[in-house]
Amino acid sequence: MSLQQVALADGVRLLEGKRNWWFLGRGGITRPGAGHLTPEGSLRSETEHRLRERGLFSSPPVRSYALTVLTSTHCNPGCGYCFQNTAQDTAGGSRPPRIARARLTSPTITSILGFTERQMADAGLERLRILLFGGEPLLNPRGCLELLERAADIGMTSAGMISNTTLLTPPLARKLSALGPDLAQVTFDGDRADHDRIRVNRADGGGTFDTIVRNIVRAGEAAPLRWTLRVNVSQETFHGIDALIDRLAGSPDPSRCALYFARVGDVGIGYANDLLHTGELSEHFTRWQRRALELGFTVSRPGCPPPVPYLRPHGRPLRSGDQRGRDPGQLLGDRGQTRLGGRDGHRRLPARNEDR
Ligand code: SF4
């Protein structure tokens, strides 16, 4: 695919492919041929009319209330780019300073669920999707389990989690899965050697690659979980990503995994990534996606994400989705961590620079 693209109204994009074009709309993706475009590269009016009629310009209706809950702000690894760090580790180690520690408790769960119930009623939504988030959510397994158990009473129909999985044991996977989560997102920072240099335990500086792979495999044997494997792309991981894809195809089972590649950037804490968004970088992303498909992984298509506001309790949006847990006035389980706009059927968990 070339880099040629056309931005249309409503955030819709047209990308030129080898044989045709890709239309990325809020309501779906389609492939118009050259005959559907004007010589200038815009949609012909009759084509646009048809796509609007089919709903491809508008977001599908919201069916579920999506709730993201931080069950622990602490984390066992000390990744240098983590959005919940407050600076770099000046000693050059794996212990960057972080936001204050907090854990989700029973009273906060009561508060969150009460707030959520009211918000769902206001929005006319009866279904709830919960995302367990951190720090590392599994540093507070009791909080995760209690939240999921009690959320069933207010209409929780599905759940997922973003976890580094270093603490995910088969019994815990079984318990979590029985209460809702069917999808977990975990991150790899490049191939094993790169990952073990970047994603290290705070306590002993040890690598986590083999632990993560082992835990995914064992948890997958214990529970019907599917996985989104996020691959962080930076100047430190770039050269090992082809090898990583092939390594992951050996284990865990690719048919239960989606691979997702994301460039890691600085969220204001001094993490440097020299990789620039260039045509060359795009070609690497395309090659990785193709290889992942060849090996049996699922990959997500580029899309046209709907605008999703993150709301504070008083209804004003947070500065951005990346501020969760960092806002000084925002407590763990604060109602400001809820968001409207979740949709049934979306398969990839929210993708952010900070995620596991
Ligand atoms: S990026 Fe994820 S695993 Fe790494 S320190 Fe932050 S919360 Fe922990």
Residue pLDDT, tens place only, 173-222 = 999 999 999 999 999 999 999 999 999 999 999 999 999 999 999 999 99
pLDDT for 343 beyond 50: no
Low-confidence winner among 27-41, 116-130, 312-326 (lowest mean pLDDT): 312-326
Cβ–ligand 1 distance for 48 under 6 Å, the answer: no
Q: Higher model confidence: residue 341 or residue 25?
A: 25
Sequence-separated (6 or more) residues with CB below 8 Å from residue 295: 245, 246, 249, 254
> Once rounded to an integer, what is the mean pLDDT over residues 336-354?
36
Average pLDDT for the chain: 85
pLDDT of residue 40: 83
Low-confidence winner among 57-71, 290-304, 328-342 (lowest mean pLDDT): 328-342
pLDDT for 45 beyond 50: yes
- Of 70, 71, 74, 79, best ligand 1 pocket probe by most atoms within 8 Å of the beta carbon: 79
> Once rounded to an integer, what is the mean pLDDT over residues 14-42?
89
> Once rounded to an integer, what is the mean pLDDT over residues 38-66?
91
The residue whose C-alpha atom lies closest to atom 2 belonging to ligand 1 is: 356
Cβ–ligand 1 distance for 96 under 6 Å, the answer: no
pLDDT of residue 125: 97
pLDDT band at 305 (very low <50, low <70, confident <90, very high): low
Distance (Å, whole) CA 209 – CA 228: 16
pLDDT for 61 beyond 50: yes
pLDDT of residue 278: 81
Cβ–ligand 1 distance for 337 under 6 Å, the answer: no
pLDDT of residue 349: 42
Distance (Å, whole) CA 201 – CA 164: 11
Among candidate residues 343, 339, 350, 352, the one with its CA nearest the CA of residue 311: 339
pLDDT of residue 258: 97
Strand 21-25 to strand 257-263: parallel, antiparallel, or no bridges (unpaired)? unpaired
pLDDT of residue 351: 36
How many A from CA of 163 to the centre of ligand 1?
Answer: 8
Low-confidence winner among 17-31, 99-113, 177-191 (lowest mean pLDDT): 17-31
Q: Would you tell me the crossing angle of helices 279-294 and 241-250 to the nearest 10 degrees?
A: 10
Per-residue DSSP letter, 40 = T
> Once rounded to an integer, what is the mean pLDDT over residues 220-240?
96
Could you tell me the domains of the chain? 5-53 (no CATH), 64-339 (3.20.20.70)
Sequence-separated (6 or more) residues with CB below 8 Å from residue 1: 15, 16, 17, 18, 22, 286
Of the chain, the end-to-end C-alpha distance in Å amounts to 30
> What whole-number percentage of the chain has pLDDT above 90?
67
The residue whose C-alpha atom lies closest to atom 6 belonging to ligand 1 is: 82
pLDDT of residue 4: 63
How many A from CA of 296 to the centre of ligand 1?
Answer: 28
Hey, how many other C-beta atoms are within 10 angstroms of the C-beta on 49?
11
pLDDT of residue 303: 66
pLDDT for 54 beyond 70: yes
How many A from CA of 176 to the centre of ligand 1?
Answer: 20
Among candidate residues 184, 206, 198, the one with its CA nearest the CA of residue 252: 184
Cα R_g (the chain), whole angstroms: 21
Per-residue DSSP letter, 201 = B
The residue whose C-alpha atom lies closest to atom 8 belonging to ligand 1 is: 75
Low-confidence winner among 60-64, 228-232, 293-297 (lowest mean pLDDT): 60-64
pLDDT of residue 328: 38
pLDDT for 293 beyond 50: yes
pLDDT of residue 265: 81
Distances from the Cα of 335 to the Cα of 21, 211, 218, 265, angstroms: 42, 34, 34, 27
Tokens of 232: 């962080």
The residue whose C-alpha atom lies closest to atom 3 belonging to ligand 1 is: 356
**Residue 175: in which H helix or E strand, if any?**
helix 170-179
